[in-house]
Structure 1
């Protein structure tokens, strides 16, 4: 948390500076409102002095008219000041959400490492809202300071001791309020971290609800969430206690200060140092000061929470990229022939992997350990840089060209690919270039059968993540989307685990036919898919331990038989 604090302050400064127009307008109008509020007691005192003490009806009417004009001005100032401040707050929060979304979706990745989707959503909503609220706090702080300054000036004009009491006591009171906000800032940061983690776990459990029900793990999931939410509740209560303690102590200090002002004013009136109208003004000003001083208490709480949230936002924005690009202006070879080479590749569980795939070749990769498959896919998809070695496309290392150009040439379709809201055909054609073989992709993936069974065919609506479809239907639509993209090099990870054997065989034959002349890498243990490859590579223990055709390895390699046929 401390490491992100300096950048957290930068986030706060940018949030305020980015809305300087609305903040400036709100502050100026707020100053007018608070100045008017502070002048009201003085005007009332003058009206009492001339109308009651001096019995001057004309003077009374003049001051009452002035008082009415001031009320109109301060009312309009408050309305438009609040409007500008609220607009600044909402716009600032929206800008931060857009910036966070851009960072999370950035091609180089890294922002979502070790963070659940729900946690990121919480940062982009609640934390962004709290940082945005700091802009309104700035407007209120400037306005309240103006009110205090005008009140002090009026009291100085009435009585030097009263004015000095306000001028000297107010800074001390504000400093004490600042000190009291420190525990709230610390506990607010912890509260937001645990609340975000609880939100992330909840979203994760909801997304996997079908799986949890299928394996009968509902009780374990409930117990896990109850444990995490209990910690979140505890942190929230600690933050609430800190806020209540801070507000309570500040209220007591403020009340004591105001009582002191009233006491000094009363003694001055008894001694005859100030008149009746001036005493009324002093008492009314003491009551007025409750407002600005209470607003400072709110400002401290908002800034403390905003600082904690800004540090969390900064941690996401400053997350190091998962991959690097040596030369963003570089390009992959044109046209892409499709020659893929892994040269002494080491990453995570992979060790010194060498693999040459000729252009147009269909190669299967069998990885009994899912960690090996995951590491290979991360390197091929450019979601991670190898610890050593390289992945080359047509002789060019993938760390050179931009991520967008690399991923357009080499598409990795992972097993858990998600669908988005829209229609079936919109999902299939999402990445398809003009002239792509969409109809052939539907047939090769078996999605044509899915379309025929749906009520509206290809125009059937798909809900978020494709949950309105069955597992097999989702998998075939995702495969059709990958095939329709018509990438020069296509990597498919277990594309047919949720379909029956007949459909799996059809997908294997269709994929082979559609991808003829294009480089295809099948990372799978499916015998049907491996049977249509030109050759197969066995990754065992993070190393290449066997190569050959599927039939040959099934006869001669025990480890291969265990992985594929067991």
Structure 2
């Protein structure tokens, strides 16, 4: 896989049982790139490590006054230089390719998981953690996956050089062969505490990211209640905790780096002292001493990759653990479906609550608990209840349909829909049946003033559809965002449209026009609206009261508001006291009527 071939046609099915298993799965899925990186790494490190032998050969040739050996040494040095240049160039190329392709695979997996879970994702994993995984964590995961092949090439080179030194000059080669493993393994006792500090730092950084994400998302509300300073102080404290954790982690890694510098220096001093002693005794030549000395100097370069792989693993392990936790989440339904992909037609029925939405009718649902209403709306979209029961569409369980078919059949608009940045035309560029045009949807959602505001705020276009919408529509009011989201839902023209409080931020006059436009545009289609607005309820064909998770009453608005106290309490915002007084008044009036009837009977 090359960078220009991204994205992957299919990123595969990850092994998300744990962080290390996920890292191994990523490595196995790009063995071709890893093999290329290993080959170029061996060429590069091997050429670098061969230079000391060439230098030693050249010095010995000068000592022996041998022009032939000097020319040979020069040719070998030129050959090594070419190997270094070619190996370094293609090693860097393959390493970057491995890094980017691994990160891209993780991002594709996360995007696919988010698409499968939908709105359920942020209820099972904090939004800030999802952001942290999809941004900083993918880079650290890619770093470790890429560094494995370079580390392997460095380790093989170190082993080969040690063997070569033992063969070339046994007396000094044994010292080097014993000393280098000590250098490589000396930092192992420090890795567990360094890893723990890195994990702690990542945990603190993740919490700070979550806090920042949640604060930005609720900034408008925080300003409304004057709470932005409070949350700013909280983020400041969280940021300081991240800084302290990062300093503690950096100290440990600085100690590891210092040891990586100190121990090779000690080994170098030992080899020089012992080599000079052997040279005085005539047991080795000057060229051999220079060769061994230069080899140790050069080997500090591949040895650095031992420190890098340890650091990469320490930073990528918590990242991989977080990524695997997100990727291990499963949709309660089978995304492939156990039935044909044909979209069924018929009534929408929820066995758990007894809610029935007849086909082609406008059904309004009144629920006193907003959280319960949100869960019921999700269930109508295909998420089974806690007991595992699924809603039925035309008698077919929705969770047995393929995910694409289920979402084509039923569209659920959340209470707080999100507007992505881009033009209005891009916002409305969603899968649609073609039965509803952009202008019809915008008109039904009463977006005239929104279009005018977008054109007024745009400097380079007079067409509202080409006007840009800022991220999450932050430049628009809450009611304007709601209406644009409603237009986006209407233009898809699904078989069943479920709207959760679509007009909660809209004034009553606009809400009345939206209710009429919604009823007209969705004529003959199944529409379910969760609301407590009398304006919407009065225009519904059927009103259902859901109390404590079950259907308590069914009728029309004007009928239920007079006959059902619980319905009236939700819709008219009556308190329990007012409801009791009204009930007592009705009972008193009934008693007076009965008394009058008794008097009439006695008189007769």
Q: Is TM more than 0.5 here? A: yes
Query: Which residue of 511, 531, 543 maps to 2:538?
Result: 531
> How far did residue 388 of structure 1 move?
5.0
| Contact 2:342–2:405 (CA under 8 A) maintained in structure 1 | no
Which residue in 2 is equivalent to 1:543?
550
> How far did residue 335 of structure 1 move?
5.4
Structure 1 118/58 Cα, relative in aligned 2: closer, same or farther at 3 Å? same
| Contact 1:108–1:323 (CA under 8 A) maintained in structure 2 | no
Query: Which residue of 29, 34, 49 maps to 2:40?
Result: 29
Query: Which residue of 86, 89, 99 maps to 2:109?
Result: 99
Which residue in 1 is equivalent to 2:576?
none
Query: Which residue of 173, 176, 183 maps to 1:166?
Result: 176
| Contact 1:116–1:201 (CA under 8 A) maintained in structure 2 | no
TM-score, normalising length: structure 2: 0.84
| Contact 1:120–1:196 (CA under 8 A) maintained in structure 2 | no
1:251 correspondence with 2:261:
yes
Q: State the alpha-carbon separation in 2 of the partners of residues 326 and 39 from structure 1.
A: 56
Q: State the alpha-carbon separation in 2 of the partners of residues 458 and 298 from structure 1.
A: 51
> How far did residue 505 of structure 1 move?
0.8
Which residue in 2 is equivalent to 1:261?
271
1:369 correspondence with 2:358:
no
Which residue in 2 is equivalent to 1:83?
93
> How far did residue 261 of structure 1 move?
2.8
Summarize deviations over 1:462-499 as a string: whole Å, max 9, x none: 22222233222211111122222222222111111222
Instruction: Give the number of aligned pairs.
Output: 552
| Contact 1:85–1:135 (CA under 8 A) maintained in structure 2 | no
| Contact 1:333–1:394 (CA under 8 A) maintained in structure 2 | no
Which residue in 2 is equivalent to 1:461?
468
Report matched runs for 1:153-232 at 5 Å: 153-232=163-242
Structure 1 468/256 Cα, relative in aligned 2: closer, same or farther at 3 Å? same
Structure 1 312/415 Cα, relative in aligned 2: closer, same or farther at 3 Å? closer
Which residue in 2 is equivalent to 1:281?
291
Q: Which runs of 5+ in 1 are unaligned?
A: 346-352
Which residue in 2 is equivalent to 1:322?
331
Which residue in 1 is equivalent to 2:380?
380
Report matched runs for 1:332-411 at 5 Å: 336-337=345-346, 339-343=347-351, 345=352, 353-411=353-411
Which residue in 1 is equivalent to 2:445?
445
| Structure 2 residue matching 1:105: 3-state secondary structure | helix
Q: State the alpha-carbon separation in 1 of the partners of residues 16 and 259 from structure 2.
A: 26
1:558 correspondence with 2:565:
yes
> How far did residue 287 of structure 1 move?
1.8
Structure 1 127/429 Cα, relative in aligned 2: closer, same or farther at 3 Å? closer
Which residue in 2 is equivalent to 1:505?
512
Structure 1 110/183 Cα, relative in aligned 2: closer, same or farther at 3 Å? farther
Structure 1 17/322 Cα, relative in aligned 2: closer, same or farther at 3 Å? closer
| Contact 2:129–2:209 (CA under 8 A) maintained in structure 1 | yes
Further displaced range: 514-523 or 236-245: 236-245
Structure 1 235/409 Cα, relative in aligned 2: closer, same or farther at 3 Å? same
1:486 correspondence with 2:493:
yes
TM-align CA RMSD: 2.6
> How far did residue 532 of structure 1 move?
0.8
Structure 1 30/487 Cα, relative in aligned 2: closer, same or farther at 3 Å? closer
Summarize deviations over 1:54-78 as a string: whole Å, max 9, x none: 2234433432333233223323222
| Contact 2:17–2:328 (CA under 8 A) maintained in structure 1 | no
| Contact 2:364–2:529 (CA under 8 A) maintained in structure 1 | yes
Which residue in 2 is equivalent to 1:519?
526
> How far did residue 445 of structure 1 move?
1.5
| Contact 1:36–1:70 (CA under 8 A) maintained in structure 2 | yes
> How far did residue 561 of structure 1 move?
2.6
Summarize deviations over 1:91-147 as a string: whole Å, max 9, x none: 222222222222222257765444333322221222221121224422332332243
Further displaced range: 127-136 or 5-14: 5-14
Further displaced range: 517-526 or 543-552: 543-552
Which residue in 2 is equivalent to 1:473?
480
Q: Which runs of 5+ in 2 are unaligned?
A: 1-14, 456-461, 574-604
Structure 1 110/364 Cα, relative in aligned 2: closer, same or farther at 3 Å? closer
Structure 1 166/472 Cα, relative in aligned 2: closer, same or farther at 3 Å? same
Which residue in 2 is equivalent to 1:144?
154
Which residue in 2 is equivalent to 1:125?
135
Structure 1 48/226 Cα, relative in aligned 2: closer, same or farther at 3 Å? same
| Structure 1 residue matching 2:475: 3-state secondary structure | coil
Which residue in 1 is equivalent to 2:49?
38
Tell me which structure has the larger Cα radius of gyration.
2
